[in-house]
Structure 1
């Protein structure tokens, strides 16, 4: 059963998967590869590159894997607070995601390969952050686990076993948000091409600002003040 978690987590579940869905769709449309937010497909691409001797395909997959992994490592290094706790470090990482996506939006039209690598790094930061702060409950960059949990819930329902309604709600929220983000990005790409990533960056920045506000409010409620110079 999913433990009780603070209500602000729902804002992450509703907005950050939309960022990932839009980034994945934009990257896929830009390079016609398998996207940047899930490494199962990317690893398959690497295997095909090795097996077929396709150096370009292998280089693309290796770059995405390295960028995503480095992003996760960065999030683990910076965000070291307790679970379910908004922090200034978490907000800073989300601002970093917004910055990387903003730069990527400028690079994609002329240097799509480099832009896609920045997208992968941004999604690594985001997924590492959400996974660490939620105890792996919330993963915002891919949907395999969410669909797996939904399938398990359906099986439990079919045999009359108790169903974790909170987990199902999280899964449905993340799945819906991711798909909505992908749809919106696909529609925007027809007009703006890679520059539509600026919208994804704006969403990430909004979540960063809300996380910063929640962090300051939590500290104020606990009687913690930030020292001034």
Structure 2
């Protein structure tokens, strides 16, 4: 799911990682919004808010909005930087550090977020935007930009294009390729939606502790990948 990159990835790999990470992103989006009234998985709205506040010379609010955008950017930069380092050293571990950092951020905010919400809610938003920037950059890199999980605008755009192309591409190979791509995008959309529903319910019951469930899913995904790799290595060793 995580450990394959680029051309070595199959549709099954992309569906698996899309399902996991889009569910987590949907959960983070809703829990973050319900907790601090701020979108925490994309920056489009924050950029518009920054322009509006800057135009009205509300410097503090404009700076705050700009830092939301910057947090997402820094998360994406950090994730990509770590991936590039491990690509040159131990490629099979390139996804581990960003995923662990994201999981630990969710754990940290989940355990201390109630105090932060009361005293400095912006820290919650900054941390979650950083985590989602990491996630989006990681999945974009390892899937060769086939999978994106933290926001839906581009997904609906791409899916609209692909649905229109179904009326024009009649040959079997192109139609199969289009249908596979549409299925992947629908999976991301539905899992993001499911994560949002789960996030809404869990937040109503546990508040920011709901983020612990997202962290658990990330760590479970890493553990599953580790187990699969160990099994494959053992089979390879037995066959040699």
TM-score, scaled relative to structure 2 = 0.81
Q: Counterpart in 1 of 2:93? A: 88
Q: Residue 221 and residue 144 in structure 1: after superposition, are their counterparts in 2 closer, same or farther (change >3 A)?
A: farther
Question: Which of 99, 109, 113 is equivalent to 2:114?
Answer: 109
Q: Counterpart in 2 of 1:19? A: 24
Runs in 1 of length 4+ with deviation above 6 angstroms? none
Q: Residue 24 and residue 90 in structure 1: after superposition, are their counterparts in 2 closer, same or farther (change >3 A)?
A: same
Q: Counterpart in 1 of 2:3? A: none
Q: Counterpart in 2 of 1:128? A: 137
SS at match of 1:79: helix
Question: Which of 114, 118, 121 is equivalent to 2:127?
Answer: 118
Q: Residue 157 and residue 213 in structure 1: after superposition, are their counterparts in 2 closer, same or farther (change >3 A)?
A: same
Matched, 1:201 2:201: no
Q: CA RMSD in A?
A: 2.4
Q: Deviations over 1:155-201 (max 9, x none)?
A: 12244555411111110010011111011101111121112111111
**Contact 2:113–2:208 under 8 Å retained in 1:** yes
Matched length: 219
Distance 1:113 1:55 in 2: 16
Would you tell me which structure has more helix in proportion to its own residues? 2
TM-score, scaled relative to structure 1 = 0.85
Deviates more, 1:3-12 or 1:172-181: 3-12
Distance 1:9 1:216 in 2: 21
Q: Deviations over 1:19-38 (max 9, x none)?
A: 111111111112223x1211
Question: Which of 9, 14, 24 is equivalent to 2:14?
Answer: 9
Q: Counterpart in 1 of 2:36? A: 31
**Contact 1:70–1:121 under 8 Å retained in 2:** yes
Long gaps (5+) in structure 2: 1-5
Greater CA radius of gyration, 1 or 2?
2
**Contact 1:108–1:116 under 8 Å retained in 2:** no
Distance 2:76 2:96 in 1: 15
